[in-house]
Structure 1
Amino acid sequence: MIPEVKAKLLEGKKGLIVGIANDQSIAWGCAKAFRALGAELAVTYLNDKARAYVEPLARELEAPILMPLDVGAPGQMEAVFERIGEHWGELDFVVHSIAFSPKDTLQGRVVDVPRDGFLTTMDVSCWSFIRMAHLAEPLMKRGGTLFTMTYYGSQMVVKNYNVMGLAKAALESAVRYIAAELGPKGIRVHAISPGPLATRAASGIPEFDELLNRAQETAPTRSLVSIDDVGMATAFLAHDAARLITGETLYIDGGYHIID
């Protein structure tokens, strides 16, 4: 649950949330936190099937903009940012919470990955964030913050994470380079690295329940992270109090990543 917030610390700020699939999504946890702190939100959904799940959540957020966004569909990403420019004229933050790898690519060995599967994985999971940063830059006239979601498997070999680990490593590197390039404009960039979460995306990883159990038993806090934990920590980084924090990979995992 999002804690009761009395101060609207992000009131007046406007942001785009990409990646809500249902009420278990990390992006939903972020959206709830940003809205609780007073931010106004634009929301996207993947396709018509997903819209049935996302539209009620967008209404709960009182989002004035709800649009389709399949990053593989030509022109859709540009249309979203064009609409934001027309409606708000500016943008303060973007939450990029999407990743994808074809099943036969994700579940196979890295050395066996087919070229088309590798390119699809990198395109959706990494390049789409770079493209969003490009499109957001001119709208962040007073500075802003760009967020993307990563995982510990970018740094260490995690069983069954496979090619997604490569994509997340590239994504984290992109965060650092983009932070360096856009920092002079007051635009900050972060990768958020939650601990294991029972999301729809995670359901594609074999033996994921074992990973959840190991995380809970091993993390110093002896607890699993929730989408609300991720949301509140992410929202803090969008506040002006965090204006000198950029280029970071922030672990929200109860300390799991520090344990051997």
Structure 2
Amino acid sequence: MFLKRITLLNEGVSKQQYPFSIPAIRSLRELDITKPVTFFVGENGSGKSTLLEGIADKCEFALGGGGRNNTYEVHASQSALGAYLRLSWLPKVTNGFFLRAETFYHFASHLDHLEHPGKYAAYGGQSLHDQSHGEAFLSLFLHRFNKKAIYLLDEPEAALSPARQLTFLRIMHDLTKSGNVQFIIATHSPILLGFPDATILQFDENGMSPIEYEMTAHYQITKYFLSHREKMLEDLFYDEK
């Protein structure tokens, strides 16, 4: 673990202005990170991606996706929150990667436009555009994620089948057991959330708070659907009756 604490600097902040109008962001003072793997969970718009992006901004990672050495412009090239965050490290690391599923195409294109001959060495030896979306994600995880670093991942399950999500869990396990890697992940995946001994932080209208895996809506809804599919679909489609 490297990143120990995230502090929101409230001076000059308007609580009515985005992103401070989001309950989870508005209520943030200090957030202690105590585990090598931390998950952010919550509904769309709950602030989990906003906070992850702000952390990436303070790490000086490319906000379209990438590390400190990736410089390119996409629509999501600025963070509204980063300037108001303070990160506390022990020790400070500068290596890492910000994965943003929705802009991964732009990162792959940026990589193609680089001129040095070894540009694909950390990505499976070939252009990410020459691989399927899921294969490209796994190439990144298998070859780029391999040394002392912090990895910030926004919905990494977006391109991964359930079986590939299990593969990713194994990659996370192999990396974290060395003690040299830290993950902070925003996700909707009940499979990824099952990673053992991780911190899960729930983002909702009440703010931000720790939650047990079995208490997350992601786990409960998925479990109920798999056990009572016909009943759930009947209630969903024919509730007007």
How does the TM-score come out when normalised to structure 1? 0.36
Would you tell me which structure has more strand in proportion to its own residues? Answer: 2
Would you tell me which structure has more helix in proportion to its own residues? Answer: 1
How does the TM-score come out when normalised to structure 2? 0.38
